[in-house]
Amino acid sequence: MKHLWDTPFLLLILLHLLGAVMSQVNPGVCRYPLGMSGGQILDEDISASSQWSESTAARYGRLDFEEGDGAWCPEITVEPDNLKEFLQIDLRSLHFITLVGTQGRHAGGIGNEFAQMYKIKYSRDGSRWISWKNRQGKQVIEGNRNAYDIVLKDLDPPIIARFVRFMPVTDHSMNVCMRVELYGCEWLDGLVSYNAPAGEQMNSPSYPIYLNDSVYDGAVIYSMTEGLGQLTDGVCGLDDFTHSHVWPGYDYVGWNNESFPSGYVEIMFEFDRTRNFTTMKVHCNNMFSQHVKAFRQVVCYFRSDLDWEASPLSFSPVVDEKNPSARFVTVNLANHMASAIKCHFYFADAWMLFSEITFQSDTAMYNTTLAPPKTGPPNIQPEDDPTHKVDDSNTRILIGCLVAIIFILVAIIVIILWRQVWQKMLEKASRRMLDDELTASLSIQSETFTYNHNPNQSGTTSEQESNSTYERIFPLGPDYQEPSRLICKLPEFAQSSEDPASTSTAASKSTTTTVVQDGVPHYAEADIVNLQGVTGSNTYAIPAVTMDLLSGKDVAVEEFPRKLLTFKEKLGEGQFGEVHLCEAEGMQEFMNKEFLFDIAEDLPVLVAVKMLRSDANKNARNDFLKEIKIMSRLKDPNIIRLLAVCIYSDPLCMITEYMENGDLNQFLSRHEPEGQLAQLSNAPTVSFNNLCYMATQIASGMKYLSSLNFVHRDLATRNCLVGKKYTIKIADFGMSRNLYSGDYYRIQGRAVLPIRWMSWESILLGKFTTASDMWAFGVTLWEILNYCKEQPYSQLTDEQVIENTGEFFRDQKRQIYLPQPVLCPDSLYKVMLCCWRRNTKERPSFQEIHQALLEIQP
């Protein structure tokens, strides 16, 4: 059998594991993401100077994360001269940071804020903050040019820090949001600072050679204190110190023997904690032709706690006058325990030049190949140890674990894929079943439909327009794609509309795309099935799960003999059909007992008959039949009830109960509040109590719908019907009624949106949930308390309503709320305000709102 270990993949891993191990941080390899995107950095370790809103808090500033509102955004606009705002990351221990990544707020296409520039500040102890500068002394880093691309910037010099702050910089006042990542590895040296005499200038015959520590981040006066710099930047100088990628001598810090009468240079090293030191490696130049040599002796003193150890450690390397190569001189520190080390480096020539000093302590070793950021492989020896060996048993265990993880991952992927395919098949099958079943029922031709009393009317169906190219203008169709266009109307979103990437946004794709924008809880929108009403109505959006339930064979509604319908009058007209008031003979048999108490046994019953044009295309027919399926399952006293259907022959009909007082909007517009004014004008009145009673019934109907996870999407007084004694039933007539065309905002002839009733997230994200129904309920309540005398936001144009939606999104207290109606008590206005809370999770449920209204009702 071919052994697993033989596979090239494992060999690769093995090679990696056995790869060169260096005891010095290697900036070329130390580039691991430190955990903003991967989640290893905890939310509590990400903080910020301020936040725009809860959903743009610091914790949302993780690179490549789309949670919350998509990024960290500071509270206020960033001004060019005001660098107060920052996003701070606490790495919990010192890290060597070589690279940073930034990204703006894209949020599935609705966000377009990013930092064009930024600065970085860092700290090792949380109190002394240092501004990062590049090797030329420039602090500002070029950031993002759009909201979605990740821009990576090398930090040269790298940073050694525990805390890092990103500070957006702008050249003009602008809104900025950021997502960030830090890349590097843990700083295992533990060195917090070194203090040394300032590097000097060597005057060569041709040009001066600056041997100062140009990136030292502590204080430099005559000597360098409390900082780290070139000796810890991971860059080793060349053999010829005059050559460098910056300026001659750049990579070295050097001292002249003449400046040190004692004959040595003292460097003091401070560490983050007491450590057990094994070695110190000093990278020295040895260009003896230029009077530069490595040190001839080093004497190190150790301090643990407060006291310096009495006996120092001394080491004298062989002075090399043959090989001019720069080299690491390794000093064995003999397991001294210390939190500080002070070393005297004795000159061997006129000059002593160091470019790196590293410390090895405890088990701290850098693996330059496969080392994960936080855990160095414990089984690997230093590279210059002649006994350098890999502990085989540990390696095998490690490889075994890796293989196991790979198998588990593959298994998980297979299971996920399999489930998805299976689910899709099931969904398709259930839809096909539904369609087949209904198409089959259509093909059964039976009675011919005639209007008993007005035969001319039968001609209406033939007058209807051709069905071939009817325009889907409903916002609720599956191809509803408009929110992004609306978003573009908001100034700060304007740019994203020009940008092709932002037009392919989640919000604009379809309602089947889940946009996790504000954590709308209810249920995944991906599961919502939209049903477009046929006679111009929407019907509700329901979750696919419910849809599956509904696709069962038993449609709970019976076929009604057409000939028993007598046309009385036209109640309404939609794009795909008409609604007629009819008398239905013998309807009593089709009605539930609850309807029968005030209906004479032998008289015809008044019903509303919704008919599909006989020339409607297959889509419209199927939608009509689906609507029947859904309606037939809705059984609630406050939802319009489907009594029977005529689907054995054309035109397809739905017979619903008739509500004698028409829709609530017209009903209330005809009425006045009780009082003197009404008395004088002799107008019919509706008492405040009855207003509350009607509102409570709407809440109750919505409670029922929401319990089934139905989302109405167009709750408004125009979609509620009024029967006897102020009874209310929720219906859905769609948006094609001329009377209410002003309530719908038409986007370039495509989608039609009831924007004045819509929540900010429905408008901006295309997100329709029970929470957005709740928003619409608040507006409906407002209409009711105004006796439908005024359109919501009547003083605003449609465009201004959309702009106001942007203000709801920004939540900077600039949004305009519908005002408290004159007759509305504070308690009821508070209820409305709850419905319009920005955070969907904070809006009440219909259960709660129903209860609240019951309690308010006098």
Residues serving a catalytic function are 714
User: By C-beta, is 47 or 537 nearer to ligand ADE?
Assistant: 537
Q: How near is the Cβ of 662 to ligand ADE at its closest, in Å?
A: 5
Q: How near is the Cβ of 716 to ligand ADE at its closest, in Å?
A: 15
Token output for 108: 């599935």
- Considering only residues 25, 87, 571, 753, which one is a binding residue for ligand ADE as defined by CB under 6 A? 571
Q: Is 215 in the site for ligand ADE (CB under 6 A)?
A: no
User: By C-beta, is 351 or 474 nearer to ligand ADE?
Assistant: 474
Q: Is 565 in the site for ligand ADE (CB under 6 A)?
A: no
Cis peptide before 651 (omega within 30 of 0): yes
Q: How near is the Cβ of 743 to ligand ADE at its closest, in Å?
A: 16
Considering only CA atoms, give the Rg of the chain.
38
Q: Within positions 672 to 731, which residues make up the interface with ligand ADE, using CB under 6 A?
A: 721
Cα(290)–Cα(287) distance, integer angstroms:
6
Q: How near is the Cβ of 658 to ligand ADE at its closest, in Å?
A: 5
At CA 468, angle to CA 466 and CA 472, rounded to 5? 105
User: By C-beta, is 572 or 778 nearer to ligand ADE?
Assistant: 572
Q: Is 534 in the site for ligand ADE (CB under 6 A)?
A: no
Q: How near is the Cβ of 582 to ligand ADE at its closest, in Å?
A: 11
Q: Is 572 in the site for ligand ADE (CB under 6 A)?
A: yes
User: By C-beta, is 184 or 574 nearer to ligand ADE?
Assistant: 574
Calculated CA dihedral for residues 651, 654, 657, 663, nearest 10 degrees: -80
Q: Is 587 in the site for ligand ADE (CB under 6 A)?
A: no
Token output for 801: 């309503």
Cα(455)–Cα(853) distance, integer angstroms:
48
User: By C-beta, is 109 or 577 nearer to ligand ADE?
Assistant: 577
Q: Is 645 in the site for ligand ADE (CB under 6 A)?
A: no
- Nearby residues of 647 by Cβ (< 8 Å), 6 or more positions away: 438, 441, 442, 559, 625, 628, 653
| Count of CB atoms situated within 10 Å of the CB of 319 | 14
Cis peptide before 377 (omega within 30 of 0): no
- The region of 132-140, 284-292, 363-371, 656-664 touching ligand ADE under the rule CB under 6 A is 656-664
User: By C-beta, is 224 or 571 nearer to ligand ADE?
Assistant: 571
Cα(11)–Cα(674) distance, integer angstroms:
88
Alpha carbons within 13 angstroms on the beta-carbon side of residue 69 total 26
Q: Is 662 in the site for ligand ADE (CB under 6 A)?
A: yes
- Considering only residues 86, 658, 667, 757, which one is a binding residue for ligand ADE as defined by CB under 6 A? 658
- The region of 49-57, 186-194, 653-661, 669-677 touching ligand ADE under the rule CB under 6 A is 653-661
Q: Is 643 in the site for ligand ADE (CB under 6 A)?
A: no
Q: How near is the Cβ of 57 to ligand ADE at its closest, in Å?
A: 48
Q: Is 659 in the site for ligand ADE (CB under 6 A)?
A: yes
Q: Is 753 in the site for ligand ADE (CB under 6 A)?
A: no
Token output for 514: 């889940």
Q: What is the DSSP string of 188-237?
A: TT-EEEEEEEPP-EEE-SSSEEE-S-TT--SEESSEEEEE--GGGSS-PP
Cα(324)–Cα(332) distance, integer angstroms:
23
- Considering only residues 37, 112, 193, 656, which one is a binding residue for ligand ADE as defined by CB under 6 A? 656
Q: Is 579 in the site for ligand ADE (CB under 6 A)?
A: yes
* Local structure of 310: helix, strand or coil: coil
- Considering only residues 160, 348, 608, 824, which one is a binding residue for ligand ADE as defined by CB under 6 A? 608
Q: How near is the Cβ of 452 to ligand ADE at its closest, in Å?
A: 20
User: By C-beta, is 73 or 659 nearer to ligand ADE?
Assistant: 659
* Local structure of 358: helix, strand or coil: strand
- The region of 396-404, 624-632, 651-659, 787-795 touching ligand ADE under the rule CB under 6 A is 651-659
Strand partners, 543: 528
- Nearby residues of 761 by Cβ (< 8 Å), 6 or more positions away: 517, 518, 520, 767, 769, 771, 772, 840
User: By C-beta, is 22 or 609 nearer to ligand ADE?
Assistant: 609
CB 330 within 8 A of CB 279: yes
Q: Which residue is nearest to ligand ADE (CB)?
A: 608
Residues near ligand ADE (CB under 6 A): 571-572, 579, 608, 656, 658-659, 662, 721
